């Protein structure tokens, strides 16, 4: 079916179900940033493949709301689909609900699949819509009857993540969570985010590209720990080990029945990750909404994880060096490799390293103007040829048993204009300022973000994405709760704590010309009794040919090089 035919088919389902407007989000029932292909309904109906976006379908309008990171990509992918791009003003706000309130009449019905929206989202939607006398209802999955070749859910086996990497046993982690439950007055703790389930149980899976997670729920009470999962995903050997560790296995769908029978018991849920349908099956007097203790525990890396992180950065840097040397040899031989070929070479280089599992995301390799498409992913048939001129942006990462990496470098492939050097230098200065920052305990990411942007701001320039995000340990490359952003959201308002691993990635993008981003991972570490600092852990050189050394003033070149060497650890010319 064509995208236009898909849209017509969904509208027919809306008519049959008496729906005036249908909301289609990005997430799965676990609020995953990157859902399994089975739940990639928004991409199927719109053709937009970005990781953030919401579609609205009415009888006479089809719209896609996304943020500035994806404007260029969405404009390209939505051509001739029947969908209109709506550009979000604020990245994290549900501005599409405002649109519905303005364009629907009292008494009309808005629907969505409550299984794929969080309780927090549905509560917000219902409040705004009810003020306009617009009804919100759970439509279920309208795609069941119209998506004929819908991918199946994975039944691949899950596996142990050895304690020599994880650092703490699942028994110890569950014990800690029970202590948190007791402090919070909770009888049950529902863990619905896939990365949290995997972290707590020291298990990993293959249900989502690049993210080593598996479809499941975890329910902890004072005596039992129950894992709700497709039983085909667990080998007999692993089943015996889990049972030995006190983990009871139940079918994935059984959790609704269990939670519906918790009357007069306090059930701890994170309203940002538990889906609304499951949450509404819990008796109202039992619901205890609170940030997940498993998320906070996962974000603070233990000593063994930190040791592995430092080691994994060395081999990841070595893998990247091999790939960049390949590119250099290709260009010296007057060959023009494509962006796709370079992305494949980077992946193969990482795969040659010990304990490699997969990419941590599909590599962004943007040559010249493609670098300005912030989440650009080169395709085999359409990617640009790389030549001995212009600027190349490469953002890539790896999943290893002993850690997760994420790094961006921008390199000059030939003579560079003064404008590009000016942009790059402002970005690099901001990156260095964040790296060198010393800040008091209690500091939040929103307080740090401006340090990365200040040099661009002086030039009247800015970038539309956050400066940093949390990074998992052999886990999702984008990990809550912390980050370095300018928004009053969870990432911005979370205090940075020693042991957190966060990206530092300011950038600048000029459409049809160039993209610039410099990204390292930094570990929050103690710096005296009441202060913290960032330890740069990424080990890979930056391109100093792009630096406008004059902007640092006379006789500062040596000092600049020392700063870069101290912050980036290594700095050479390509």
Question: Following DSSP, what letter does each residue of 268-281 receive, concatenated?
Answer: EE-TTTSBHHHHTT
Burial class of residue 202 (count of CB atoms within 10 Å of its CB; 0-12, 13-18, 19+): buried
pLDDT of 412 higher than 50: yes
Mean pLDDT in residue range 334-338: 97
pLDDT of 570 higher than 60: no
Give the pLDDT confidence score for residue 558 in this predicted structure.
53
Mean pLDDT in residue range 309-321: 98
Backbone φ and ψ for 375, nearest 5 degrees, come out as -110, 40
Mean pLDDT in residue range 321-347: 98
Which helix (H) or strand (E) covers residue 95, if one does?
A: helix 95-103
Mean pLDDT in residue range 305-313: 98
pLDDT of 12 higher than 80: yes
DSSP string for residues in 404-425: E--EEEEEESS---HHHHHHHH
Give the pLDDT confidence score for residue 89 in this predicted structure.
87
**Digit-coded pLDDT (tens) for 84-93:** 999 998 877 8
Predicted confidence band of residue 3 (pLDDT cuts 50, 70, 90): confident
Strands annotated E in 270-400: 287-289, 356-359, 364-367, 391-396, 398-400
d(CA 345, CA 151): 28
pLDDT of 528 higher than 50: yes
Predicted confidence band of residue 563 (pLDDT cuts 50, 70, 90): low
Q: Is the backbone of residue 190 left (phi > 0), alpha (psi -120 to 50) or beta? A: beta
DSSP string for residues in 171-224: HHHHHHHHHHHHHHT-SEEEE--HHHHHHHHTEE--SBTTB---S-EEEEESS-
d(CA 192, CA 221): 15
- How far CA 492 is from CA of 261, 428, 469, 470, 485, in Å, comes to 37, 22, 10, 11, 5
Q: Is the backbone of residue 138 left (phi > 0), alpha (psi -120 to 50) or beta? A: beta
Task: Report percent pLDDT > 70 for the chain.
Answer: 96
CA-atom Rg of the chain in angstroms: 24
d(CA 537, CA 533): 13
pLDDT of 378 higher than 70: yes
- How far CA 193 is from CA of 10, 39, 315, 332, 472, in Å, comes to 29, 15, 30, 47, 13
Question: Which of 80-94, 208-222, 445-459 bottoms out in mean pLDDT, i.e. has the lowest?
Answer: 80-94
Predicted confidence band of residue 573 (pLDDT cuts 50, 70, 90): very low
Which domains are seen in the chain, by residue range?
A: 3-138 (3.40.350.10), 159-298 (3.40.350.10), 303-568 (3.90.230.10)
d(CA 33, CA 36): 10
**Digit-coded pLDDT (tens) for 468-499:** 999 999 999 999 999 999 999 999 999 999 99
Task: Report percent pLDDT > 90 for the chain.
Answer: 92
- Number of Cα atoms under 13 Å in the Cβ half of residue 525: 13
Give the pLDDT confidence score for residue 560 in this predicted structure.
57
d(CA 89, CA 487): 12
pLDDT of 22 higher than 50: yes
d(CA 505, CA 410): 11
- Number of Cα atoms under 13 Å in the Cβ half of residue 192: 32
pLDDT of 52 higher than 50: yes
pLDDT of 571 higher than 60: no
pLDDT of 559 higher than 60: no
pLDDT of 14 higher than 90: yes
Give the pLDDT confidence score for residue 574 in this predicted structure.
29
Contact of 35 with 27, CB cutoff 8 Å: yes
Closest by Cα among 459, 467, 374, 366 to 419: 459
Which helix (H) or strand (E) covers residue 133, if one does?
A: none
Give the pLDDT confidence score for residue 56 in this predicted structure.
98
User: Residues 6 or more apart from 155 whose CB is under 8 A from it?
Assistant: 230, 232, 233
d(CA 129, CA 115): 19
pLDDT of 41 higher than 80: yes
């Amino acid at each position: 079916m064509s995208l236009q035919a898909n849209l017509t088919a969904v509208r027919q389902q809306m008519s049959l179900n008496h729906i005036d407007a249908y909301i289609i989000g990005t997430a799965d029932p676990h609020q995953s940033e990157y859902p399994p292909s089975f739940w990639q309904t928004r991409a199927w109906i719109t053709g937009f493949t970005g990781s953030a976006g919401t579609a609205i379908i009415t009888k006479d309008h089809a719209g896609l709301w996304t943020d500035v990171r994806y404007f260029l990509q969405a404009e390209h992918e939505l051509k001739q689909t029947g969908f209109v791009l709506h550009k979000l003003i604020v990245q994290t706000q549900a501005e599409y609900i405002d649109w519905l309130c303005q364009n629907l009449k009292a008494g009309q019905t808005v629907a969505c699949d409550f299984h794929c929206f969080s309780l927090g989202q549905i509560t917000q939607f219902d409040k705004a819509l009810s003020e306009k006398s617009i009804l919100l209802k759970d439509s279920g999955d309208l795609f069941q009857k119209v998506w004929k070749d819908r991918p199946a859910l994975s039944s691949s086996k899950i596996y142990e993540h050895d304690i020599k990497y994880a650092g703490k046993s699942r028994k110890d982690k569950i014990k800690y969570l029970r202590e948190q439950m007791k402090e919070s007055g909770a009888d049950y703790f529902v863990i619905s985010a896939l990365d949290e389930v995997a972290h707590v149980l020291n298990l990993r899976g293959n249900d989502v590209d690049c993210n080593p997670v598996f479809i499941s729920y975890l329910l902890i009470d004072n005596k039992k720990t129950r894992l709700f999962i497709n039983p085909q995903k667990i080998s007999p050997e692993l089943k015996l080990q889990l049972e030995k560790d006190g983990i009871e296995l139940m079918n994935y769908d059984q959790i609704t029945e269990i939670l519906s029978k918790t009357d007069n018991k306090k059930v701890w849920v994170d309203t940002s990750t538990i889906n609304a349908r499951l949450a509404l099956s819990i008796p109202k007097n039992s619901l205890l909404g609170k940030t997940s203790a498993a998320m906070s525990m996962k974000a603070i890396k233990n000593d063994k994880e930190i040791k592995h992180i430092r080691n994994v950065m060395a081999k990841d840097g070595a893998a990247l060096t091999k790939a960049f040397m390949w590119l250099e040899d290709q260009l010296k031989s007057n060959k023009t490799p494509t962006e796709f070929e370079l992305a494949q070479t980077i992946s193969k280089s990482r795969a040659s390293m010990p304990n490699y599992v997969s990419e941590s995301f599909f590599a962004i390799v943007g040559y010249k103007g493609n670098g300005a498409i912030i989440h650009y992913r080169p395709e085999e048939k359409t990617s640009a040829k790389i030549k001995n001129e212009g600027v190349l942006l490469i953002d890539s990462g790896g999943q290893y048993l002993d850690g997760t990496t994420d790094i961006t470098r921008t390199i000059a492939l030939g003579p560079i204009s003064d404008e590009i050097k000016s942009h790059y230098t402002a970005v690099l200065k901001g990156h260095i300022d964040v790296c060198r920052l010393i800040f008091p305990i209690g500091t939040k990411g929103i307080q740090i973000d401006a340090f990365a942007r200040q040099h661009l701001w002086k030039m009247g320039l800015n970038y539309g994405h956050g400066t940093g995000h949390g990074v998992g340990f052999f886990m999702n490359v984008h990990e809550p709760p912390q980050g370095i952003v300018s928004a009053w959201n969870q990432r911005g308002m979370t205090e940075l704590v020693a042991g957190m691993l966060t990206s530092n990635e300011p950038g600048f993008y000029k459409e049809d010309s160039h993209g610039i981003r410099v990204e390292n991972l930094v570990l929050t570490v103690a710096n005296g009794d009441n202060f913290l600092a960032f330890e740069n852990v990424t080990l890979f050189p930056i391109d100093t040919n792009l630096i406008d050394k004059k902007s640092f003033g006379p006789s500062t070149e040596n000092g600049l090089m020392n700063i870069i060497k101290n912050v980036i650890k290594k700095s050479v010319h390509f």
